[in-house]
A = this chain, B = another copy of it.
Amino acid sequence: MQRKTGQRRAIRLALEQADRPLNAQEVLDCAQLQVPKLGIATVYRNLKALVETGWLLAVELPGEPARYEVRGGAHHHHFRCDSCGRVFDIPGCPDDIEATTPEGFRVDRHEITLYGVCAHCP
């Protein structure tokens, strides 16, 4: 991740301009507007590297390809619309999440996903 390349810039731009988490294919489609010869392998390599540096956050929902969002604000969770398939950020977090964790288990982190219909869908 030490050189500035056109593909790298295009990939970052795609993620910065998105208003929601994008998957690898969406990043490719968007970044190819600027670098048409961009390949999917390069997208994956850069996404992985950007997650490792902490610039990106991987949003992985069960059964679907991973999405990525620029690590911005505070701890939050996600809402997936069953109608349009898009994923949105949900601020905040319940505070009693670990309440019923069995004795002897140590909880390091958690994921919450809400499913339903978003405000833009009928």
What residues on B are CB-neighbors of A111 within 8 Å? 62, 111-113, 115
Interface-facing stretch out of A1-9, A21-29, A102-110: A102-110
Q: Bound state CA distance, A116 and B111, in angstroms?
A: 12
Let me know if A57 is at the binding interface, CB within 8 A: no
Interface size on A, residues (CB 8 A): 38
Interface of A is mostly: loop
| Cβ contact within 8 Å between B82 and A108 | yes
| Cβ contact within 8 Å between A105 and B100 | no
What residues on B are CB-neighbors of A41 within 8 Å? none
In A22-59, the 8 Å CB interface with B consists of: none
What residues on B are CB-neighbors of A114 within 8 Å? 97-98, 101, 105, 107, 109-110
| Cβ contact within 8 Å between A112 and B112 | yes
Let me know if A119 is at the binding interface, CB within 8 A: yes
By a beta-carbon cutoff of 8 Å, the part of chain A in contact with chain B is 60-63, 66, 79, 82, 88, 90-119
- A sample of 18 inter-chain contacts (CB < 8 A) reads A62-B62, A62-B66, A79-B102, A90-B100, A90-B102, A92-B100, A95-B96, A96-B96, A97-B114, A98-B114, A101-B114, A103-B119, A104-B118, A105-B114, A105-B117, A105-B118, A108-B117, A109-B116
